[in-house]
Structure 1
Amino acid sequence: MSDDKKGQGFKLTLFALVGLFCQIILVLSVLSPEIFISSMNKELSLMDDVYGREIATQYYDDAKSKSDALVVDSGVLNYMRYMFLPDWYIEKRPNNEHPIFKSMFTFVDNAIHNLFLNVEYTLLRINSFKAWVALFILTVIGSIATGTLIRKVKQHGFEYSSPHRLKAGKFLIVISLFMLYVFLVLPLTIHPFLFPLAIFIFNVGLVLFIANIIKRV
């Protein structure tokens, strides 16, 4: 039991550290737009290589239009600006405030815009993942069939279901879903081929899980 608890504690710590790392990078991308812009340009170049320029451009245009609809057209961006910035700054009226305040408000304004640029980046990643949805569906169907077949063989044979394989299957499923989450929110360059890698890990875990969810009868 102590080993199981240590293993679970290690997994939770690992997930927490990766999640914290993602949040730190997200904050840095908001405060330093150079990180975000450089990462996005590199990823668009990788998408050109993998999907072709026409499809990559289509994905980008779709992400930008949806981002504008969600952030600009809906009024969310203006709402955030009026919440954190004074009217005189937004309306660009003359003001006698100390220049340091204007610099501070400029920094906040840029951070708000960069935050919503991350929305566009996430939508671009979602579009990139859509290219692999058909592969995901087909492999999941195959994995379910394979896992079920292995389970049926175990029911009529002499092999017991393995609790270790069951745990390994659960872990691989969780880690693959966590990988997809990280791929969608992390504002660093992600190669499009990492999506099928996560799908492969998920399906291996799915086969192990289904094949070992019941005991031999």
Structure 2
Amino acid sequence: MLSLGLLGFISALDVTITPPALPTIVQDIGGSTLYIWIANVFVLASSAVQPLFGQFANIFGRRYPLAFAIALFIVGSGLAGAAHLPVLLLVGRRVQGVGAGGTYVLIDIVCCDLVPLRDRGKYLAIVQAWGGVAAALGPLIGGTLAEQNWCWIFYINIPISALPFIAVVAFMDVETGRNTMKIRDLDYLDNIIFISSTTTVLFGLIMGGIEFPWSS
């Protein structure tokens, strides 16, 4: 439960910690034309893949998809923190977003696997409360780190995420869902439709009124 709470905390933190630092980041590495995407590519990537990770959990069990999502988040954080070009930063943010999207859905699934039905509301509230704390602290932490070294806005994710990653790989034994689906049962068509439609809708909402008029 502590690991799930930490994952909820760090995933939510990454949404709100970046915007206060964007002016500093853009001033340092350039990319003023990509300004809006540095924050929003994370949201776009994390939103589109959540149903896919839920289906992975029914094919491979809970441990490996969750460990994979955490690993993606850690790798993306490292890429974003080390970026010296705007394009590299966007790549890192996208990888982060995919990992965070998987984490979002899997922490709820695992939490529901661990506790009886009558206790799920209580334990989900505990896990989600960590995300609420992170959302409140994000702007403060982001602004503070931007004044020191903006790279740590992303590097800070690595040690915090490493702790639940180790716990999941070494100790988690939740096999619920394994073999309830085969890889051939993956809903390929609906995942393609969902990912593409989510991407296009969010693209329109992000670009509307900024790069293109709403009447475009």
TM-score, length-scaled by structure 2: 0.27
TM-score, length-scaled by structure 1: 0.27
Structure whose alpha-carbon radius of gyration is higher: 1
